[in-house]
Amino acid sequence: MAAAAAAAPPFAAGDSPPPTALLLPRTTTTAGAAPAPRRSSASSRLHLLLTAALAVATSYLLLILPRTPLSAAPAPAAAARAQVKLEKPVVILISSDGFRFGYQHKAATPHIHRLIGNGTSAATGLIPVFPTLTFPNHYSIATGLYPSSHGIINNYFPDPISGDYFTMSSHEPKWWLGQPLWVTAADQGIQAATYFWPGSEVKKGSWDCPDKYCRHYNGSVPFEERVDAILGYFDLPSDEMPQFLTLYFEDPDHQGHQVGPDDPAITEAVVRIDEMIGRLIAGLEERGVFEDVNVILVGDHGMVGTCDKKLVFLDELAPWIKLEEDWVLSMTPLLAIRPPDDMSLPDVVAKMNEGLGSGKVENGEYLRMYLKEDLPSRLHYADSYRIPPIIGLPEEGYKVEMKRSDKNECGGAHGYDNAFFSMRTIFIAHGPRFEGGRVVPSFENVEIYNVIASILNLEPAPNNGSSSFPDTILLPSE
Ligand SMILES: [Zn+2]
């Protein structure tokens, strides 16, 4: 295990390219290229023959290769399927927490695969925002904003000005910036219903989390009850029926933390999520509305195995700098540090990196410290006063602890750099606005806000998604 980790240097010189750039085709422009050198006629004929042979081989390859578009595909030619029973467009946005991309192949997941087969999905998954944590990502999906803009920069953090502390049960509007979809909908006279989603209990704009349409978080509610409540909304008279609905499941994140991504417990959790998707589909079919509803199944982030020897201990940096525990606002995998005001921040970063690179700190080479403004810009993790000034990025699967202990735990974690494939999750969408059997290039979850706004004919609030993105993924409305 250690040998495999040592094979690849944790941080190559310079930043890794943005994950989306890896998926984009290299544009090979021929225009303006230098003219080919002239050849003799014999070599020209040979060249022609070779070119023809290559062309035949290429077209054959194109025929046998799976038709996975690698570039941002143009809008599909077909139009949206006409809705049969429902008069208005409807979106159900479902999150399965910690559903790492690839889990859908861990077991037979017939219901999820029905959505994939007859719907549109992201080729190599949905790219989360950094930090790849639950609250920042759910709120990015709902607002189309990076955490530096929507304000939920971690699952818990202090406000450096007021000293107040944000936790996952903070519902005061002051923490939650931006405009989530349920607010956009309510402000424009569209009924929304939330069965759990980070931020949904916050009163904002015209959204006051009404009892009939907004559930207060309670992790002990059985998944079946959540699905059945969503189905119940489709029994309401059409003027009371919500057009935007959220549904949230804590699994398989819960199991992922305990046992890591490759344990049979994950397979069981994935099967159970598939059963819930099946229950939802069956309920919508019974009501004759399954083909009328746009179902969007996503996760917030992935999961990577963490184990015994992949640890960095901050107290081993003492010969370079003695870090006090109360400077460390979040430890792992997102290491966030705010030293006292009288200390030089660049000095703290330099001393930490010197120690980490000295070869004398165990696994020091797998952690690198940054002033937040020096983080790779693709992480979009600098422009908020809430983000602590010093951020550490551990290599995939490494964890940071204050000091060595006897515990020897294996499990799973997320929160790492969003360039790691292990942090990716799923995007699977099915309904009248999604072409069947279509696979689109992977994209960042901040694009989803505009997609849903477009389906519901809502004027989107300003956000970090691209305004042209919905046209690349949706069938044109009738
Ligand atoms: Zn988690």
Q: How far is the CA of 161 from the centre of ligand 1 (A)?
A: 28
Classified as helix, coil or strand, 95 is strand
pLDDT-based confidence at 325, cuts 50/70/90? very high
**pLDDT above 80 (res 19):** no
Specify whether 225 is located in the same domain as 281: yes
| pTM score of the predicted model | 0.84
Q: Name 413's bridge partners.
A: 304
Same domain (yes/no): 236, 356: no
Three-state SS at 470: helix
- Decide if 341 is inside a domain: yes
- Mean pLDDT across 83-90: 93
Largest CA distance in the chain: 82
Confidence (pLDDT) at 11? 35
Q: Is residue 273 part of a domain?
A: yes
Using the mean position of ligand 1's atoms as its centre, give its distance from the Cα of residue 268 in Å.
17
Per-residue model confidence (pLDDT) at position 347: 98
Helix (H) or strand (E) holding 122: strand 120-122
The pLDDT of residue 53 is above 60: no
Cα pseudo-dihedral 138, 144, 148, 152, rounded to 10: -30
* d(CA 309, ligand 1 centre) in Å: 21
Q: Which helix (H) or strand (E) holds 195?
A: strand 192-195
294 CA distance to ligand 1 centroid (A)? 27
- Whether 158 and 263 map to the same domain: the answer is yes
Going from the Cα of 15 to the center of ligand 1, the distance in angstroms, rounded, reads 26
Would residue 227 count as lying in a domain? yes
Lowest mean pLDDT among 13-22, 324-333, 390-399: 13-22
- Judge whether residue 427 has pLDDT over 90: yes
**CATH assignment at residue 348:** 3.30.1360.180
14 found inside a domain: no
146 shares its domain with 248: yes
**Pair (364, 462) in one structural domain:** no
CA–CA separation, 220 vs 231, rounded Å?
Answer: 19
Cα 53–Cα 55–Cα 60 angle in degrees, nearest 5: 95
What average pLDDT does this structure show over 79-89? 90
Cβ neighbours for 365, distance < 8 A, ≥ 6 positions apart: 9, 10, 356, 357, 359
Distance CA(279)–CA(231), nearest Å, equals 10
* Domain final position from 409, 437, 464: 409
Is 74 a domain residue?
A: no
Q: Choose the weakest-confidence range: 27-31, 274-278, 295-299, 360-364.
A: 27-31
Give the structural domain span for 328.
Answer: 311-409
> What pLDDT band is residue 46 in, cutting at 50, 70 and 90?
very low
The identity of residue 27, as a single letter, is T
One domain for residues 360 and 383: yes
| Number of compact structural domains in the chain | 2
* In-domain check, residue 94: yes
Q: Go through 95-114 and write b for each residue having 16 or more CB atoms within 10 A of its CB, e for each that does not.
A: bbbbbbbbbbebeebebbeb
CA 383 from centre of chain: 20
Do 373 and 428 belong together in one domain?
A: no
From ligand 1's centre to the CA of 253, what distance in Å? 5
Q: Are residues 225 and 144 in the same domain?
A: yes
Residue 80 — very low, low, confident or very high, per pLDDT cuts 50/70/90?
A: confident
Rounded to the nearest integer, the mean pLDDT of the chain is 87
User: In which element (H, E) is residue 185 found?
Assistant: helix 181-187
Task: Please state the rounded mean pLDDT for residues 368-383.
Answer: 98
Which pLDDT score is estimated for 111?
98
Minimum mean pLDDT range among 27-36, 302-311, 328-337? 27-36
Distance 397 CA to ligand 1 centre (A): 14
Same domain, 200 and 335: no
Q: Bigger pLDDT: 64 or 415?
A: 415
Per the model's pLDDT, the better-predicted residue between 72 and 96 turns out to be 96
What's the gap in Å between 133 CA and the centre of ligand 1? Answer: 7
Does the pLDDT value for residue 34 go beyond 50? Answer: no
| Residue 419: closest CA among 377, 372, 371 | 377
Residues 222 and 353 in one domain: no
Domain membership of residue 132 (yes or no) is yes
Residues marked active site are found at 134
Instruction: Give the residue with greater pLDDT, 62 vs 92.
Output: 92
Give percent above pLDDT 90 in the chain.
Answer: 80
Residue 27 lies in a domain: no
Tokens (6 digits) for 56: 């035949």
Average pLDDT over residues 452-471: 98
Chain centre to alpha carbon of residue 303: 11
DSSP state of 127: B
Q: 131 preceded by cis ω (within 30°)?
A: yes
**pLDDT for res 307:** 85
* Statement: residue 407 has pLDDT above 70: yes
- CATH (domain of 296): 3.40.720.10
pLDDT over 50 at 23, yes or no? no
Residues 228 and 166 both lie in one domain: yes
Cα 159 to averaged position of ligand 1 atoms, centre (Å): 22
Q: Give me ligand 1 centre to Cα 310, in Å.
A: 19
